[in-house]
Chains A and B, each alone.
Chain A
Amino acid sequence: MKVSGIRFVTALGALGLPLAAVAGTVDRTVAASPQGDVEISNVSGRVDVRGWDRNEVRVTGQYDNGVERVDVETSGSRVVVKVVLPRNSRDSDATLEVQVPKGSSVEVGAVSADVTSRGVLGTQRLKTVSGEISADISGDDSEVRSVSGDLTVRGSGKPLKLRASSVSGSLDLSNAAGSLDVVTVSGDAHVHMSEAKEIRARTTSGDLELVAKLTRDGRVDAEGVSGDLSLQLSSPGSLSLEIESFSGDITGCLADSVERVSKYGPGVRLNVRNVEAGPRVRAKTLSGDIEVCDK
């Protein structure tokens, strides 16, 4: 692709790649199925995925000297976009924008590259090591993972199954509904859900804040070790609660019902059992505090 002087420099500057480092550009468009699979891999730099109304995948962007080329291959209903590095090379940057049919299922694998995704309606599986992920998620059975990168996920408000996990990164999830499985080790997690049917949340030392409106048969299972849990839950029926901490406190608007587990040993618990079938909440910690409220 040939781009003339000033326009080229301006475009590269806007996309954030150091001008002196640019070694090549890519602008490829291939036909794609409206609900096909798109797989993207990039080590470092950035991947921006955008859903659009065309039955095409378009890949634009640029890369530095550490990148050999960017492949765009089609096989059946699958399109694979791959940043190819010379053997044993990891010192490379590529910045890609990938426009995909909005009904596509998308997989992105990155190492330190940041990933964003907007406007994709199919299943998404986004994974980075240290890069950050910011994604709008609408497709069922989606998954977002990182090792040390932070995750920012926005749901569409319609029920779906979503898994989000990070070792050291934090998680911010908003406007989600349906089923959620969230795991962090040391990162904090902030989760806001409507129409929550099933939530499983686990943190080791990070704090978990969960604000959710449960369905009539909703389930919450939250666990922390030293991290604090804050559960602000509402539901159409009375909640059944099974809350327990080994050495932390239980606070919140139901704190009056908290009792000691043993007369002589540590531990507090809050058990509220309702006869009718309804939303059920379990929360456990070792030393983290649990704040729970059902209003």
Chain B
Amino acid sequence: MSKRVTRIDELARDIPPARDLWPGISAAIEAERAAAAPAQSRRRSFWMPAAGLAASVLLVAVGVFIGKATTQQRQQVTAGTDRPGVETGAEIAVVPAHYQRDAEYRKQRKELLQEVNARLQTMPPADRAKVSASLETLRKSIDEIEAALGHDPANALLQELLVSSCQEEMRALTAVRDSGREEI
């Protein structure tokens, strides 16, 4: 009987992706670095957050693959919700030490969500609704992929979509968080 995957580290272990995903991830990080590089010589450019974004993207990759490479029993109780545009809830999890990087990814995402929610509150209502809906779409997409993985945990396409969707969510959250605060 299949079950819904609720955490990325619940994915089946020892299943190689259909292709080596690292070149794509690395290219994305390098692209962000390249965008950030000229900014370093400037006194205060709005491209500076790209370095932080690259770190977030890397955390997603590390988080996903660390999670996949290790099997561990854990207890988790999730209260509230981590959707953008609403109050974040508290997550109580027993996280072994060797999950630290995965935990770091989740921690960073949670912090990012709090900042995004604060940023959304400063937006005009129409923009806030539009952006919140897009972020919710991203989260729903990740939920859909995780649900599908629950039925077909070895599916390489779904694994690839999950990784890139998590990365895209971090990119989008970072873009919203940083929007408008560096320009002036």
Chain A residues with CB under 8 Å of chain B are 39, 41-43, 78, 82-85, 107, 109-112, 125, 127, 129-130, 141, 143, 145, 147-148, 163, 165, 167-168, 181, 183, 185-187, 202, 204-205, 221, 223, 225-226, 244, 246-247, 265, 267, 284, 286-287
Contact = CB atoms under 8 A, between A and B. Distances in A.
Given A41-B183, A163-B31, A286 B144 contact: yes
B130 A110 contact: no
Contacts of B155: 246, 267
Contacts of B45: 39, 107
A83 B148 contact: no
Contacts of B131: 147-148, 167-168
22 contacts: A43-B180, A43-B183, A78-B42, A83-B184, A107-B45, A107-B47, A109-B184, A110-B183, A112-B124, A127-B183, A129-B179, A148-B127, A148-B134, A167-B135, A185-B137, A185-B172, A186-B137, A204-B134, A205-B141, A221-B24, A226-B141, A246-B155
Contacts of B46: 41, 107, 109, 127
B118 interface: no
Contacts of B55: none
B110 interface: no
Given A168-B134, A225-B161, A204 B183 contact: no
A185 B127 contact: no
Interface in B126-184: 127, 130-131, 133-135, 137-138, 141, 144-145, 148, 152, 155, 157-158, 160-161, 164-165, 168, 171-172, 175-176, 179-180, 182-184
Nearest to B141: A225
Closest 9 CB pairs of A and B: A109-B183, A225-B141, A168-B134, A129-B179, A111-B180, A186-B134, A185-B134, A109-B46, A41-B183
Interface string B7-34: 0000000000000000010000001001
Contacts of A109: 46, 182-184
A37 B132 CA distance: 35
Nearest to A285: B161
Given A226-B141, A286-B145, A286-B158, A204 B165 contact: yes
A225 B144 contact: yes
A141 B130 CA distance: 29
B62 interface: no
B123 interface: yes
B66 interface: no
A23 B45 CA distance: 28
Nearest to B152: A265
A78 B42 CA distance: 10
Given A186-B134, A226-B141, A244-B157, A202 B184 contact: no
A130 B134 CA distance: 13
A129 B145 contact: no
A143 B184 CA distance: 19
Contacts of A186: 133-134, 137
